[in-house]
Amino acid sequence: MEIGKKINGKTIVITGGTGSLGQALTKRLLKTEVKTIRIFSRNENKQITMAENIEDKDGRLRFFIGDVRDDHRLKHALEGADIVFHAAALKHVPVIEYNPFEGIKTNVIGSQNVIDACLHQDVQIAVGIGTDKAVSPLNTYGATKLLMEKLFVTANNYLNPKKHKTKFLALRYGNVLGSSGSVIPRFINMIKQNKKITITDPNMTRFSLTMDQALDFILDSTFSGKGSEIFVPKLKAYTIKDLKDALFELLKDTGYKKIPVRQGEKFHETLINYDEMRNTWENKSKYIILNPLSANFDKVKSSYTKIDFQTPYSSETVKKMSIKELKASITNSNLL
């Protein structure tokens, strides 16, 4: 069955829905026969801007002011919801390094509040949107997102099948090309201002994921998951040097200068570390990290193939995109 048919008539809640992912997901969902999309976020100005920029002919889009730290408000926002995409988070690494208490309140306690609200309102599916930085975390942001993952994949332990039906799962991927705070829009802005772009090291690598790829991955995983899994897409990667060269060819060569590595920044991204490999399976498009404590463990693993790679799944080791591929991806993503 197509994803569109599975989502028809559903009421969707997106926490942190005014962000880049939330807005793109909303636009995709409005192309289906979804019943209602509720945007739950704390910034009223972003909600107003989003409402003005997204065409909603049928009046299916709703906006709820609220913070995931407020469990009472969350329970009201999730009343009657079928699917929850939890994307709300404090995400900027240096900011959370300086304000770790706030990162924990939003990313950890806020995630627990979302889980509690989903159980309270008997939501069908709850999806935690994660990040590569949760893998062997080097910074506070990564540590909080690791805990978010742990909360989501173990939330099924709290289910009483006779009372609750919620299916919890987590998704993990790297930065989406062009998302807020990512490197490509920053580089493009510098080049257009005729400034040298700032690079920590040209040999750094990052996974490549377009917004359309991210949306396909999110929706496919939402309906293929049985509960307690972490889904990871199969991706190519790129070097910062090749990204620089691709942008210079697309725009103009303004040169670059090296800057110190940011606090908590990794040289390469890792999506599956060495210790997780023993519990990782795969299909054609993605990897599935299973929770051995889950009641679904045996049922789920029988649907996939055990991985056979011997090293962690890292942007250092996977196949790299060519400069030509990078240029096409940037152009097709309308980032220029």
What does pLDDT average to in each consecutive run of 10 residues of the chain (336 residues)? 82 97 96 97 97 95 98 97 98 93 98 96 96 94 97 85 83 87 89 95 93 96 93 96 96 94 86 96 95 84 89 95 95 88
* Burial of 308 (C-beta count, 10 Å sphere; 0-12/13-18/19+): exposed
Which amino acid does the sequence have at 328? A
Query: 14 to each of 81, 154, 165, 291, how far by Cα in Å?
Result: 10, 21, 19, 25
Active-site choice (6, 46, 75, 133): 133
The answer to whether residue 260 is domain-embedded is: no
The answer to whether residue 189 is domain-embedded is: no
Phi and psi dihedrals of 290, rounded to 5?
Answer: -100, 150
Opening angle at CA 174, ends 331 and 185, nearest 5: 40
The answer to whether residue 331 is domain-embedded is: no
The answer to whether residue 325 is domain-embedded is: no
Q: What is the pLDDT of residue 161?
A: 64
Domain with residue 119: its CATH number is: 3.40.50.720
Task: Give the predicted TM-score (pTM) of the model.
Answer: 0.94
Q: Which residues contact 121 (CB under 8 A, 6 or more apart)?
A: 75, 78, 79, 80, 81
- pLDDT tens sequence across 155-181: 988 766 667 789 999 999 988 987 877
- pLDDT tens sequence across 278-336: 999 999 999 999 998 888 788 888 889 999 888 999 999 999 999 999 999 999 988 88
Cα dihedral 110/112/213/6 (nearest 10): -120
Q: Positive or negative CA dihedral for 264, 175, 235, 199?
A: negative
The answer to whether residue 322 is domain-embedded is: no
The answer to whether residue 157 is domain-embedded is: yes
Whether 252 is a known active-site residue: answer no
Paired tokens of 192:
């257009």
Question: Count of domains in the chain?
Answer: 1
Report the residue count for the chain.
Answer: 336
Q: What is the pLDDT of residue 162?
A: 67
| Domain extent at residue 24 | 3-174+209-234+270-313
Rg of the chain over CA atoms, in angstroms? 20
Q: What is the pLDDT of residue 179?
A: 80
Do 248 and 194 touch, CB atoms closer than 8 A?
no
3-state DSSP assignment of residue 188: helix
Which is nearest to 125 in space by CA: 3, 225, 23, 38?
Answer: 225
The answer to whether residue 58 is domain-embedded is: yes
Query: 16 to each of 149, 172, 175, 335, how far by Cα in Å?
Result: 17, 17, 16, 22
The answer to whether residue 141 is domain-embedded is: yes
3-state DSSP assignment of residue 250: helix
